[in-house]
Chain A
Amino acid sequence: EVQLVESGGGLVQPGGSLRLSCAASEFSFSICSMNWVRQAPGKGLEWVSYISSGSSTIYYADSVKGRFTISRDNAKNSLYLQMNSLRDEDTAVYYCARDSPNYDILTDWGQGTLVTVAS
């Protein structure tokens, strides 16, 4: 069974930084594109960022562009999200989600990690 385990969430002050990780197992990580999707408390889902299998293609939502950086290490089966200049509105549960090969979108999701931005 596909496993996606996020970590790195926590409480951070506005303007601060945090790095999220997603450990992947039980599938061929290196051939799958990956995503971060977030959900503010009591709100809907918002796609945040995409990275292709070989890291050659990266996309961001406008709300995080220039502040967040997605990356991956295929040798470690891991996905990352470096979040800088954090704002109150970045408070959310952040989910790691994989795309299966052949552009099969958001097939599996992790359990999420909570990021709280507050002073």
Chain B
Amino acid sequence: DVVMTQSPLSLPVTLGQPASISCRSSQSLVYSDGNTYLNWFQQRPGQSPRRLIYKVSNRDFGVPDRFSGSGSGTDFTLKISRVEAEDVGVYYCMQGTHWPWTFGQGTKVEIK
């Protein structure tokens, strides 16, 4: 199985400051069709997960542009340009290139 490793696992951030989460996969996530199926999900406290980013860098409808995704191959990053209070929660990377699909351990973002 593809192992997804996130860092850090806990991320205290000051409001208005940037935040960055790393996600590394144990093998390349480039699929035979040329796409890289690396997604990012946000789970606010007490809520269901919500997809933020798909195929590395595409923001879902309604996701603020302070969220951005980047990376390639086995190394990916989610960035929040200026953290707001509503961004508190756990963020997961997830790969959909290889079966079984696998998630990272999650990174808990909290306000300092």
Contact = CB atoms under 8 A, between A and B. Distances in A.
Interface of A: 37, 44-47, 50, 59-62, 95, 103-112
B71 interface: no
B51 A106 contact: yes
Interface of B: 1, 35, 37, 39, 41, 43, 48-51, 54, 60, 90, 92, 94, 96, 99-106
A112 B48 contact: yes
A31 B1 CA distance: 28
A45 B41 contact: yes
Residue with the greatest number of chain B CB neighbours at <10 A, chosen from A37, A45, A61: A45
Nearest to B60: A107
Contact of B37 (A47, A50, A103): A103
Contacts of A59: 99-100
B48 A107 contact: no
Contacts of A44: 90, 92, 103-106
Contacts of A106: 39, 41, 49, 51, 94, 96
Q: Which of A59, A105, A110 has the most CB of B within 10 A?
A: A105
A112 B99 CA distance: 23
Given A44-B105, A50-B101, A62-B100, 16 more contacts: A37-B49, A45-B92, A45-B94, A45-B106, A47-B101, A62-B1, A95-B48, A103-B35, A106-B41, A106-B51, A106-B94, A106-B96, A107-B51, A107-B54, A107-B60, A109-B48
Contacts of B90: 44
A30 to B, nearest CB: 21
Contacts of A37: 49
Given A105-B39, A106-B51, A109-B50, A47 B92 contact: no
Contacts of A46: 103
B32 to A, nearest CB: 12
Given A95-B48, A103-B37, A106-B41, A47 B106 contact: no
